[in-house]
């Protein structure tokens, strides 16, 4: 069976109740749940949470909450792979024969069912360990620089100072929406960013990391334009 796992702990600090905060009138986690259900890729959609309020809202929108996440993987130090391994271990103990999983972040309002389906197709056709959403950087990162305490500029890659931007290779980054993988890859905590992974390319207009209140405001404004 294929399952979706949506990690959604309750202790977010920078944005209180981030995973269920209303985003354009709807709990933000609802977008992830609905996209997963609409994709028809999964036998079940699970929300992994330690919070009763999140569990109640997740169930309302069609997800299952068959277990509550233990405290040891619900703090700031718990990784996504920790949460996914816990979910797989629970499934194995309950005789669920899970073959493929998709970790879908709870704060991904731009996620689309067709992107989830494409990820599964690539995972199967390419026999990859993982397939995740990614997008290109808007500006060549090879021309990036830092500013020290004396306000001096230091290029990260000074050899690219006089290279035309169109001659530099396109660089991509994680879009923070979903991560397909085999049960074995998740359970053994194989690294996601490796030669054994593939990507689903997303347009930059549908990618917005949401870590701060400013990020949230930008995402809501963007959603109103393209949503």
| CATH number of the domain encompassing residue 70 | 3.90.550.10
Could you give the angle at the alpha carbon of 215 between the alpha carbons of 210 and 221, nearest 5°? Answer: 110
Task: With cut-offs at 50, 70 and 90, classify the pLDDT of residue 217.
Answer: very high
With residue 87 as reference, give the H or E element that holds it. helix 80-93
Rounded percentage of the chain residues whose pLDDT exceeds 90: 90
Q: Which of 24, 80, 87, 33 is nearest to 216 (CA)?
A: 24
Q: What is the mean pLDDT of residues 205-215?
A: 94
Q: What are phi and psi of 132, to 5 degrees?
A: -135, 160
Strands 22-23 and 172-182: unpaired
Question: pTM value?
Answer: 0.93
**Structural domains in the chain (count):** 1
Residue 227: per-residue pLDDT: 65
For residue 148, is pLDDT > 90?
yes
At residue 75, the pLDDT reads 83
The mean pLDDT of 20-41, rounded to a whole number, is 97
Domain that holds residue 98: 2-226
Checking if the pLDDT of 77 tops 90, the result is no
């Amino acid at each position: 069976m294929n399952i979706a796992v949506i990690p959604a702990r309750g202790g977010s600090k920078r944005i209180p109740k981030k995973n269920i905060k209303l985003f354009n009138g709807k709990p933000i986690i609802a977008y992830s749940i609905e996209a997963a259900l609409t994709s028809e890729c999964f036998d079940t959609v699970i929300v992994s949470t330690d919070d009763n309020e999140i569990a109640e809202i997740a169930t309302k929108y069609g997800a299952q909450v068959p277990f509550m996440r233990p405290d040891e993987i619900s703090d700031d130090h718990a990784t996504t792979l920790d949460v996914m391994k816990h979910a797989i271990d629970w499934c194995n103990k309950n005789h669920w024969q899970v073959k493929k999983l998709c970790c879908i972040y709870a704060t991904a309002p731009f996620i689309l069912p067709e992107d989830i389906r494409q990820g599964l197709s690539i995972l199967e056709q390419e026999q990859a360990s993982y397939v995740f959403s990614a997008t290109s950087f808007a500006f060549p990162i090879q021309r990036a620089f830092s500013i020290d305490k004396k306000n001096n500029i230091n290029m990260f890659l000074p050899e690219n100072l006089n290279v035309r931007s169109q001659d530099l290779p396109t660089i991509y980054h994680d879009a923070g929406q979903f991560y397909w993988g085999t049960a074995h890859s998740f359970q053994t905590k194989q690294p996601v960013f490796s030669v054994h992974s593939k990507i689903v390319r997303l347009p930059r207009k549908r990618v917005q990391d949401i870590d701060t209140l400013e990020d949230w405001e930008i995402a809501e404004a963007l959603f109103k334009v393209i949503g």
